[in-house]
Amino acid sequence: MTRVLVTGAGGFIGGHLVARLRDDGVRDIRAVDRAPLNAWYQRFDDVDNRCADLQDFTACQRACDGVDVVYNLAADMGGMGFIENNKALCMLSVLISTHMLEAARQAGVERFFYSSSACVYAAGKQESPDVEPLRECDAYPAMPEDGYGWEKLFSERMARHYLEDFALETRVARYHNVFGPVGTYDGGREKAPAAICRKVAAAVLNCSDEIEIWGDGKQTRSFTYIDDCVEGTLRLTRSDVREPLNIGSEQLVTINELVDIVEGIAGVTLRRRYNLSAPQGVRGRNSDNTLIAEGLGWAPSVSLEDGLRDTYKWVYDQMS
């Protein structure tokens, strides 16, 4: 029997990961998050649910005690509106990352997964909407997203050195804009797909004909459905691949095209008001999936349209 620890388990990705582990027959799961239990997106009675702040080293030691595999997803983060305005808070997640690695080493953990981000990629490679898909090597020379991206890149290096120096088998994924139901869709930490779903649903429910778009709508992104994110996480953790891998879709769209899709799902056409002073992030970002296909024999495949259909329905139901 394997005892598994999921940190950040009260959050969006963490909650879905715990659900999938249970579905896969894992019966000894410890789930940790600093949020109160009643604020977790998903919580299961047959899981060892704990509320703890993993910026504290002692809390990390308690979380790792007796654990075989760690999925470290805990971080202070959100969408572009949050990470552009909370750089120090984002960088303080380095306390979680480093304390969890050391606690895992002391506890004799067999395998340690770290959730990194596409925000580690050099800004100079993301200046055009017609961006070339980002390869894993494009993280260097380093010039990541200020604050959040620097913390993620530093923690990637820490994971690498714990593998080299202490033989802790670490695995690192670079998530690309993960979205789906049962997650944040308002309050300032939501990402673009959830935000657009919320805005369109609000227009439908309030009989409005207008939607606000951050930026000019021409910036491009690829968005990864939560099921693909979890599948890739499990495959990578169980693999022999020791280098960071992209877990992201290669389906590149503009933000305007993202809105088009959600409007089509909702059956409406809205006037668009562009807020050019709002946080926009890089002009273009897409995932190159060459290495994940080679290393895992798999790559994300859920279409943006299918993922948004489920996400919009869930957001609409929450709001109505």
Separation CA 65–CA 53 (nearest Å): 16
DSSP letter at 110 equals S
Find out whether 154 and 94 touch, Cβ atoms under 8 Å.
yes
Q: What are phi and psi of 48, to 5 degrees?
A: -80, 90
Separation CA 227–CA 87 (nearest Å): 29
Sign (positive or negative) of CA dihedral 15, 21, 23, 27? negative
Residue in the block written with tokens 């808070």: 89
From the list 41, 71, 148, 225, the catalytic residue is 148
CA 27 vs. chain centroid, Å, equals 25
CA 83 vs. chain centroid, Å, equals 13
Find out whether 109 and 263 touch, Cβ atoms under 8 Å.
no
Q: Dig out the tokens for 70 from the structure.
A: 């760690």
Q: Is 148 a catalytic residue?
A: yes
Cβ neighbors of 73 (< 8 A, separation 6 or more) are: 6, 7, 8, 9, 11, 13, 14, 17, 115
Cβ neighbors of 130 (< 8 A, separation 6 or more) are: 220, 284
Q: Please report which helix (H) or strand (E) contains residue 210, including its range.
A: strand 210-214
Q: Which residues are catalytic?
A: 148
